[in-house]
Amino acid sequence: MGSKHLFDNVKIDYFAVSLPDFLVFEDDLNKRNKVHCHYMMGLGYLGLQDFKKAEAQFAQALELDANHQGARVHREMCREEMKVASSENLKE
């Protein structure tokens, strides 16, 4: 679960042969980890159809990385689902 690794102190293992080249350059790996954890938690809540919590997690990911396309797309999905649910509640 994303919450388990949210506060991990991430370091590059230079012996990892599958490490992508772009990760060798200076980067804030702890920030990248937090973005990933919030995104994963958002996906989990989305799967549980808890759209409000999912949207909040995607929003936190976007606060840290405004260019995270997955978080942006899925946050919009949550908003659409909440609109649908809201309109269905009004019809009842």
Tens of pLDDT along 11-54?
Answer: 766 665 555 555 555 568 889 889 999 999 999 999 999 999 99
With respect to residue 69, please indicate whether it lies within any of the assigned structural domains: yes
With respect to residue 79, please indicate whether it lies within any of the assigned structural domains: yes
* Structural domain that includes position 9: 2-16+26-91
With respect to residue 85, please indicate whether it lies within any of the assigned structural domains: yes
With respect to residue 31, please indicate whether it lies within any of the assigned structural domains: yes
DSSP for the chain reads -HHHHTT------TT-TT--GGGGS---HHHHHHHHHHHHHHHHHHHTT-HHHHHHHHHHHHHH-TT-HHHHHHHHHHHHHHHHHHHHHHH-
Please check whether residue 79 is in contact with residue 46, taking contact to mean a CB–CB distance below 8 angstroms.
no
* Alpha carbon distance 46, 43 (integer Å): 5
With respect to residue 21, please indicate whether it lies within any of the assigned structural domains: no
Q: Between 36 and 7, whose confidence is greater?
A: 36
pLDDT of residue 92: 65
- The pLDDT confidence band at residue 72, using thresholds 50, 70 and 90, is very high
Domain count of the fold of the chain: 1
Rounded average pLDDT over 68-73:
97
